[in-house]
């Protein structure tokens, strides 16, 4: 009995006991699905046949898949342009002494992230409706423009998607950057002010360089979120069949093949290609931003 008690309180065994649930979770919900997905990507599940690289060869010549890749890449680039510099700037304003009641603004900015994507997508679909009475057409009508079929044209539909992304995630990114900015010592800003640095110089020479770790983190998750976007597009077009596939994303195409058409082998190939694209893009940006570089000692 004493030996069992010693084992339970052993400092050598205790770390493994705490890590064990995490290891099991990773194996069951990450490693095993990936291995199973890789195996299925080389099969035709409906015919129960091993097709080797046929699914991947088919992807290279699949124009609809290439369209989905183009749409997801375009969406990702748009979100990176809008959802990194502007939240960083707004976070700097919130952190300034000129801002009164910053806690209130933090709460207001974060509310969209708590809103259901399904509800938000439905509301935005009504906003960008074809009728003259839709909100978007009423706004452009003020400037003398006629009603537009927003969700039936590529670039107006793209604008609607970006607007949803900005509405939903600007507040979240502001909080990320605000946490990074508040970790910077105020002594640095006070010393720069004594030297005659303006607020803009403080932002470009102090804030921007010192929040680099936060910027890299936001950039990484934004790349993943942009390439894996699905629900917003699905709800905006009320399904996975947008006109001429202008709203089709990589995950949307995976859903179409795996769930709607039950071509699980082909869908797994799409999923693995998405995983590879996300990894490559993020590895490139981590290399470009110097994250992999060794710190000088």
* Per-residue pLDDT tens over the stretch 211-238: 999 999 999 999 999 999 999 999 999 8
In this structure, are residues 164 and 121 in contact, taking their beta carbons and an 8 Å threshold?
Answer: yes
- 253 in any annotated domain: yes
* 90 neighbors 170 (Cβ within 8 angstroms): yes
Provide the domain count of the chain: 1
Q: What is the mean pLDDT of residues 257-262?
A: 88
Tens-digit pLDDT profile for residues 11-56: 777 777 788 888 899 888 888 888 988 999 898 887 888 888 899 9
State residue 28's pLDDT score: 87
For residue 48, what pLDDT is reported? 80
Domain assignment present for residue 100? The answer is yes
Q: What is the mean pLDDT of the chain?
A: 87
In a domain, residue 200? The reply is yes
Q: In this structure, is residue 297 part of a structural domain?
A: no
How many residues are listed for the chain in this entry? 297
Centre a 10 Å sphere on the Cβ of residue 134 and count the other Cβ atoms it contains: 17
Domain CATH for 208 = 1.10.3720.10
Confirm whether 47 is domain-assigned: no
pLDDT at 294 over 60: no
The residues that bridge with 43 in the sheet, in sequence order, are 50
Q: Specify if 224 maps to a domain.
A: yes
Residue 9 falls within a domain, yes or no? no
What separation in angstroms does the CA of 296 have from each of 214, 292, 293?
A: 20, 12, 9
User: Distance between CA atoms of 169 and 92, rounded to whole angstroms?
Assistant: 17
pLDDT band at 295 (very low <50, low <70, confident <90, very high): very low
pLDDT at 297 over 50: no
* Cβ-based burial of 112 (10 A; exposed 0-12, middle 13-18, buried ≥19): middle
Q: Provide the pLDDT confidence category of residue 8 given band limits of 50, 70 and 90.
A: low
- By three-state DSSP, how is residue 275 classified? helix
249: in domain? yes
Q: What is the pLDDT of residue 215?
A: 92
Give the pLDDT band of residue 170 (cuts 50, 70, 90): very high
Domain range for 123: 63-288
| Range list of H helices, the chain | 2-8, 14-26, 32-40, 54-60, 63-82, 85-95, 102-114, 117-127, 135-142, 154-182, 186-194, 199-202, 208-210, 212-227, 231-236, 250-255, 264-288
- Quick one: tokens of 123? 């509301």
- What is the percent of the chain where pLDDT is above 90? 47
The model's pTM: 0.86
Which tops the pLDDT comparison, 7 or 287?
287
Q: How confident is the model at residue 153 (pLDDT cuts 50, 70, 90)?
A: very high
- At residue 296 the predicted structure's pLDDT band, cuts being 50, 70 and 90, is very low
């Amino acid at each position: 009995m004493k030996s069992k008690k010693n084992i339970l309180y052993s400092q050598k065994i205790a770390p493994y006991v705490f890590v064990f649930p995490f290891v099991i979770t990773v194996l069951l919900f990450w490693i095993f699905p990936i291995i199973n997905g890789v195996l299925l990507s080389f099969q035709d599940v409906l015919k129960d046949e091993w097709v080797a690289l046929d699914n991947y060869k088919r992807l290279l010549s699949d124009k609809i898949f290439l369209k989905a890749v183009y749409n997801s890449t375009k969406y990702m680039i748009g979100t990176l342009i809008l959802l990194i510099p502007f939240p960083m700037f707004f976070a700097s304003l919130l952190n300034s002494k000129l801002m009164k009641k910053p806690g209130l603004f933090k709460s207001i900015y974060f509310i969209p992230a708590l809103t259901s994507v399904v509800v938000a997508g439905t509301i935005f679909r009504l906003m960008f409706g074809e009728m003259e009475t839709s909100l978007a057409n009423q706004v452009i009508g003020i400037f003398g423009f006629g009603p537009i079929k927003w969700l039936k044209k590529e670039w107006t539909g793209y604008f609607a998607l970006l607007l949803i992304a900005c509405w939903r995630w600007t507040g979240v990114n502001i909080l990320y950057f605000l946490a990074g900015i508040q970790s910077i010592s105020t002594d640095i800003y006070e010393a720069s002010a004594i030297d005659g640095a303006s607020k803009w110089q403080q932002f470009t020479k102090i804030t921007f360089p010192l929040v680099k770790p936060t910027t890299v983190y936001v950039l990484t998750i934004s790349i993943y979120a942009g390439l894996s976007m699905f629900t917003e597009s699905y709800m905006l077009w009320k399904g996975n069949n947008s006109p001429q596939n202008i709203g089709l994303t990589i995950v949307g195409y995976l859903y179409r093949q795996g769930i709607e058409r039950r071509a699980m082998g082909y869908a797994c190939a799409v999923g693995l290609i998405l995983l590879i694209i996300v990894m490559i893009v993020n590895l490139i940006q981590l290399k470009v931003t110097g994250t992999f570089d060794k710190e000088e000692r």
